[in-house]
Copies of this chain bind each other. A is one copy, B any other.
């Protein structure tokens, strides 16, 4: 029987992984510095530990002896500061240590969270096999270096290693800096949602689909990097307009109110050939956006409810 430990289990993606974990046999464990989250499903075991403290990591790995590790934890993403934060390097260090303690405790399969920002953004379709990994941000460089080091470590330690490269994600409890939440919040407060030209097209996936892709990567025997995306590029304009229509305030979305970032590619989309052998998204893109909107609206009406739980 598998025993899976999930880091970042109270984060945006991790929460949804654990909400869906009851569909998978085996024991599930997670943890963090704080108390057990109220919305954590009863079947999940919570461990109090600090991923930045070596003895704490060693202890929790020795206690649980997980066969599978899903490593989603990374630095606090609030405000988009992770793109250029020096703290990314400390998370590389912490992740290497975690892998080592997982190996020491007898671990068999390590699944990590990467990013589309590992790729050179010089072509619209990003492919594991064909696109060079030439990140242009601190976050991308650190995730890419970590992937290389974890692949090396796992290969030499007899541990299976898979790596999910996450593209753009939306869903319940998303950060207010993310697209859907920022537009919803602006409109509901009667403010103008200020956007770029709106013509950039990106690969958006609902967080529950991202979660089920990670569950598939945990269960499969396949190794290496897998894009986790929808395979479809959607214009930011379309997303924002759909929200504004739903809220009846198309006048509150201002395209061109923010400058277009120089060199920001027109289109970025995942080649999903590889991951589609293991997994398919449950939502179609329009229904996915509606679900996120429902959640954002529900969260606004009833803060205590926890739209994502």
Contact = CB atoms under 8 A, between A and B. Distances in A.
Interface of A: 54, 84-86, 88-90, 92-93, 96-97, 99-100, 138, 141-142, 145, 148-149, 152-153, 156-157
Nearest to A145: B145
A121 to B, nearest CB: 18
A142 B150 CA distance: 10
Contact of A149 (B54, B92, B99, B156): B92
Contacts of A90: 96, 100
A100 B90 CA distance: 8
A131 B176 CA distance: 44
A100 B89 contact: yes
14 contacts: A84-B156, A86-B152, A86-B156, A89-B152, A90-B96, A90-B100, A92-B96, A92-B149, A93-B96, A93-B97, A138-B152, A141-B148, A141-B149, A141-B152
Tell me which of A90, A92, A99, A141 has the highest count of chain B C-beta atoms within 10 A of its own C-beta.
A92
A256 to B, nearest CB: 32
A85 B155 CA distance: 11
A207 to B, nearest CB: 28
A145 B149 contact: yes
A89 B93 contact: no
Contacts of A92: 96, 149
A148 B149 contact: no
A93 B150 CA distance: 11
Contacts of A141: 148-149, 152
Nearest to A156: B86
Contacts of A93: 93, 96-97, 100
Contact of A86 (B86, B88, B97, B157): B157
B142 A86 contact: no
A89 B145 contact: no
